[in-house]
């Protein structure tokens, strides 16, 4: 069942595994759950919110699909926009790029800063036969 207050996220399914355990599922299996800017911003928002949610005692993080937990950064999406596409003064671009990377790292590190126990799992298909 969806966890109340977490249903507006586009790239993540946030559900209640039990009353005090939240399951966060990366939900972009067509791209092997690879992250691009809107995703990492959502990721940070989710884990920052979970950290302060008094109803949550533990978090399980998984990836949708059978092929990958997450492929990491969506390099194609990153190269098509954002800091890589800008032109201009090299020094200003370098500062903007560093700030962009810092923002990315802050969002991704939110799982590390989360005050709740967090477990990461990879769902594997079960061979039948």
Here the CATH number for the domain that contains residue 51 is 3.90.226.10
Asked if residues 22 and 13 have their Cβ atoms less than 8 Å apart, the reply is no
How would you class 99 by CB atoms within 10 Å of its CB: exposed for 0-12, middle for 13-18, buried for 19 or more? exposed
Range of 100's domain? 12-120
Q: Is 3 part of any domain?
A: no
Q: Is 2 part of any domain?
A: no
Count other Cβ atoms within 10 Å, centred on residue 35.
24
The pTM for the full model equals: 0.83
In total, how many domains does the chain have?
Answer: 1
Q: Is 80 part of any domain?
A: yes
Q: Is 1 part of any domain?
A: no
Instruction: Give the residue-averaged pLDDT of 41-56.
Output: 96
pLDDT tens profile 3-12: 888 999 999 9
Instruction: Give the residue-averaged pLDDT of 48-58.
Output: 96
């Amino acid at each position: 069942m969806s966890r109340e207050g977490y249903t507006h996220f586009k790239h993540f399914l946030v559900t209640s595994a039990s009353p005090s355990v939240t399951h966060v599922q990366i939900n972009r299996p067509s791209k092997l759950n690879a992250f691009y800017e809107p995703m990492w911003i959502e990721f940070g928002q989710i884990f920052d919110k979970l950290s302060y949610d008094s109803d949550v005692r533990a978090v399980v993080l998984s990836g949708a699909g059978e092929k990958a937990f997450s492929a990491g950064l969506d390099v194609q999406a990153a190269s098509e926009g954002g800091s890589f596409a800008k032109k201009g003064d090299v020094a200003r671009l370098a500062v903007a790029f560093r700030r962009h990377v810092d923002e990315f790292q802050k969002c991704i590190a939110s799982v590390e800063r989360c005050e709740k126990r967090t477990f990461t799992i990879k769902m594997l298909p079960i061979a039948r036969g």
